[in-house]
Amino acid sequence: MTHESEGPALPADRGRLSAAVKAYLLDAGPLPSDGDVEAADPYGDDLQLALYLCYELHYRGFAGVDPGLEWDPELLRTRAALEERFLTALRADTPVHETVEGALKELLVEPADGTGVSHYLRDEGEPWQLREYAAHRSLFHLKEQDPQVWVLPRLSGRAKAALAAVTFDEYGGGRPDQVHAKLFADLMTDLGLDTTYGRQVDAGCAEMLAIVNLMSLFGLHRRLRGALVGHFAEVEITSSPASRRLSEAMRRTGAGPAAERYYDEHVEADAVHEQIMRHEVIGGLLEDEPQLADDIVFGIDATEYLEGRLAEHLLSRWRAGESTVYRPLRLVGKRVGEQAEGQVGEQAGEETREDPATAGRSRVLGAV
């Protein structure tokens, strides 16, 4: 077996399932039993991290792990059991609309005085909260569009061409410095966060792991292509107004130009992307495969459901003055709020370090 010498470090385990999957990846133990999978909370830290470990082999892998395990039959069997548990719970818990039109219509109405995470961050978010938010979101934004690309070969005609065009935009339109994942890494630098791929996974909460796992679940299964399209439409449609509020949050706290830039770009880009997702991608897919309507609705509503869980987690803890991360954030450079002229200085050679502000408050303490 050849093991990757480079790559993201394996995150710390969060219970029996994730510990067993991690041990298996390191060729140091058996996979979890079916009973353990059955007994786990489908939205909990342990199951979600175990699933994340399985999926990540399809993206960047892990240092010290055999890349061939991506297609290991035993591991795929465990992954299927974890997915089944997650998907069954989602199907039972997600309130779904009757029609695609009904689901979309609701997303297109802006509440006059919303109470979401972006409203909170715009109005009263403190630098440490913006940092936590960015760390959670980095689990997706540092691979922005990667999970959605899996669906492209499963589409055809109008839907395929339109999603490929949006994808081109997400990947910077051919310019590496404009790739959205890179723009997000620049935002993280402004906030003093370590931008290394995978480094903030230990900080990521179960609710965020569930969101990024949902994308991989929908993306990697052709039978769930309708759900992937619905999911991505939901994200694009709700993005522009939220991005404006997040940009205002970054401006108000003096986070830095790259932090504002990431959200400013998304105000404008996603005002276009949402039009294309609705008219061309959903419209085209329904023309080709009208029987997928229910899956599209499920994708939209399951995304809303998991985003609602994340919002609840973040807002309830922040309002209580508590941290939302699982383990402390990884910081580099100076921290926002301490920056002299809004510039993060030379960071080369600087040690990445735990955030002392969250080290004492993260969930892991006392939980494991």
Determine the length of the chain.
368
Does residue 266 interact with other proteins by CB under 8 A? yes
Contact with other proteins (CB under 8 A) among 56, 83, 270, 355: 270
Contact 325, 363 (CB under 8 A): yes
Interacting span for other proteins (CB under 8 A) from 13-21, 168-176, 252-260, 324-332: 168-176
Q: Give CA–CA dist 241/300, Å, rounded.
A: 18
* Cβ 238 to other proteins shortest distance, Å: 5
Quickly tell me which residue has 């759900």 as its tokens.
227
Does residue 327 interact with Fe ion by CB under 5 A? no
Contact 121, 130 (CB under 8 A): yes
Interacting span for Fe ion (CB under 5 A) from 32-40, 150-158, 168-176, 301-309: 168-176
Q: Give CA–CA dist 306/37, Å, rounded.
A: 20
Per-residue contact string for residues 335-364; x = within reach of other proteins by CB under 8 A: ------------------------------
Which distant-in-sequence residues (6+ apart) come within 8 Å of 226 by Cβ? 285, 289, 292, 293, 294, 295, 296, 298, 299
SS3 120: helix
Does residue 268 interact with other proteins by CB under 8 A? yes
Does residue 170 interact with Fe ion by CB under 5 A? yes
Contact 207, 43 (CB under 8 A): yes
Which distant-in-sequence residues (6+ apart) come within 8 Å of 157 by Cβ? 284, 288
Interacting span for other proteins (CB under 8 A) from 4-12, 134-142, 288-296, 328-336: 134-142
Identity of the amino acid at 171: Y
Interacting span for other proteins (CB under 8 A) from 5-13, 81-89, 261-269, 348-356: 261-269
Per-residue contact string for residues 290-329; x = within reach of other proteins by CB under 8 A: -----------x-xx--xxxxxx--x--------------
Q: Give CA–CA dist 238/58, Å, rounded.
A: 28
Instruction: Output the CA–CA distances (angstroms, integers) from residue 91 to 88, 209, 297, in the order listed.
Output: 5, 18, 12
Q: Give CA–CA dist 249/255, Å, rounded.
A: 8
* Cβ 263 to other proteins shortest distance, Å: 7
Interacting span for other proteins (CB under 8 A) from 35-43, 47-55, 64-72, 240-248: 240-248
Per-residue contact string for residues 180-219; x = within reach of Fe ion by CB under 5 A: x---------------------------------------
* Residue ranges in contact with other proteins by CB under 8 A: 95-99, 102, 106, 108-118, 137, 140-141, 144-145, 148, 165, 168-170, 173, 180, 211, 232, 234-236, 238-244, 246, 262-263, 266-276, 279, 301, 303-304, 307-312, 315
